[in-house]
Structure 1
């Protein structure tokens, strides 16, 4: 299934898909959405009172060599002048995967850190990362058997990704991005929709505004099938609809922790 109309409908609130495609979508996804799509031409996440974060970082930082391209959290957001906001995203997973773009880094900036916090600022998961030398889109999955880091339903969590300028044991300087995530329940309507789109679950997640899982499912499919025209096109469209189309050609890497091997798409 093409993602063009799905992404446009969900993330930008437009209703300009061709009639035949709209009819197909109505037949396939005839259940209520988890979240009602915005009626504006941009995602409406900030107006629901949810916290916002920092989507891009790295153009300047005391003690660090400026990056030509900023590190970027792969989440919906908006650019206002020099400020780059990240918006709250949703997941149904206890142990979701978090995604960010890392550009080609200076030689002294090869170590990263991922940090997950409860809304009150309590750390519940932290891991160090050895970063790829080339520009990449990176995913890090929470360890599935660590109950301390499991996300609870309808709780807000904040996550940070940092790139240190030198040895983190010797310097406190780093570039960073941060964003917020909330786990929502898997209700019967959503479960039924997912069963009907098992090979392309990201379409269902997208229709229901569950960004984190739409991104993870499609990233996995795209990395596993790098020559697929459909997955390549849908990956580009997904990122385009949150203003990050320029990152779509970066190779996809997933790091579970610093001891795990890195696998990369071509």
Structure 2
């Protein structure tokens, strides 16, 4: 089964949940991209108002050297100049992984920070991160503890920051901001996941659970970087939300507790 035939269909309307399961799921999985490409349209994501976010990185102050390519949260949404769009994704995971593209950085920008807050701006999890030395897609996974786990049907805001200079002083930093909501695993979704056990990202995508589709496919691509299937599906997944320019970047997972980095080429 290939993801490439369904991504443009299933990513449309990613910002609404729950989603009625589409009919004849297996037939959609087995269609070829060539059969649907003439009808393909870039998905349009509505402006949901609050909560708002910033997909492409801005700066907190003027002390950061401008980047050739901005830090970018890997979430669906329209590109605009200010924080007036809702970059909200869904997950069924209590401890999801958050994904960001980090470009080549100035020499003084070596420290990152991840912050997760609830809707009332209360800190749920905060950690410093050592950053990769080359442009990469990085994943930050929440640690498995009761304090940082996401509660079902609650929205959380998350920030990824890259500091310029000394973060202990009044800091300058680049940042992105997005939102996530954990949704329940219902019986229909559970049944579909069992049928696509080896490539669950197809099921997550069909049900518009962006965060888990991205994480599952990133994990598979890192484990088998020579797979044409995973490469093609990864490229289309990012393309359908306007992020195709990052499809060839290496994928890195940042382990915040031990400051360890594992990387795929």
CA distance in structure 2 between the aligned counterparts of 1:252 and 1:214, rounded to whole angstroms: 15
The answer as to whether partners of 1:96 and 1:142 remain within 8 angstroms in 2 is yes
- Aligned-pair Cα RMSD in Å: 2.2
For residues 9-57 of structure 1, the C-alpha deviation after alignment (integer angstroms, 9 at most, x for no partner) is: 11237xxxxxxxx96635879xxxxxxxxxx95343534x652200001
Residue segments in structure 1 that go unaligned for 5+ positions in a row: 14-21, 30-39
Residue segments in structure 2 that go unaligned for 5+ positions in a row: 14-22, 31-40
CA distance in structure 2 between the aligned counterparts of 1:89 and 1:100, rounded to whole angstroms: 14
Q: Secondary structure of 1:255's match? A: strand
Per-residue deviation, 1:171? 3.3
The number of aligned residues is 245
Match of residue 209 from structure 1: 208
Per-residue deviation, 1:249? 0.5
Match of residue 42 from structure 1: 43
The answer as to whether partners of 1:143 and 1:256 remain within 8 angstroms in 2 is no
CA distance in structure 2 between the aligned counterparts of 1:165 and 1:28, rounded to whole angstroms: 45
Moved more, 113-122 or 85-94: 85-94
The residue correspondences of 1:1-266 to structure 2 (distance < 5 A) are 1-12=1-12, 25-26=26-27, 42-47=43-48, 51-58=51-58, 61-80=61-80, 82-83=81-82, 85=85, 87-144=87-144, 146-257=145-256, 259-266=258-265
For residues 88-115 of structure 1, the C-alpha deviation after alignment (integer angstroms, 9 at most, x for no partner) is: 0000000000000000000000000000
CA distance in structure 2 between the aligned counterparts of 1:65 and 1:97, rounded to whole angstroms: 28
Instruction: Point out 4+ residue stretches in structure 1 off by more than 6 angstroms.
Output: none
CA distance in structure 1 between the aligned counterparts of 2:154 and 2:237, rounded to whole angstroms: 26
Q: Secondary structure of 1:199's match? A: helix
CA distance in structure 2 between the aligned counterparts of 1:86 and 1:110, rounded to whole angstroms: 29
Q: Secondary structure of 2:147's match? A: helix
Per-residue deviation, 1:214? 0.2
CA distance in structure 1 between the aligned counterparts of 2:42 and 2:249, rounded to whole angstroms: 27
Alignment TM-score, normalising by the size of structure 2: 0.86
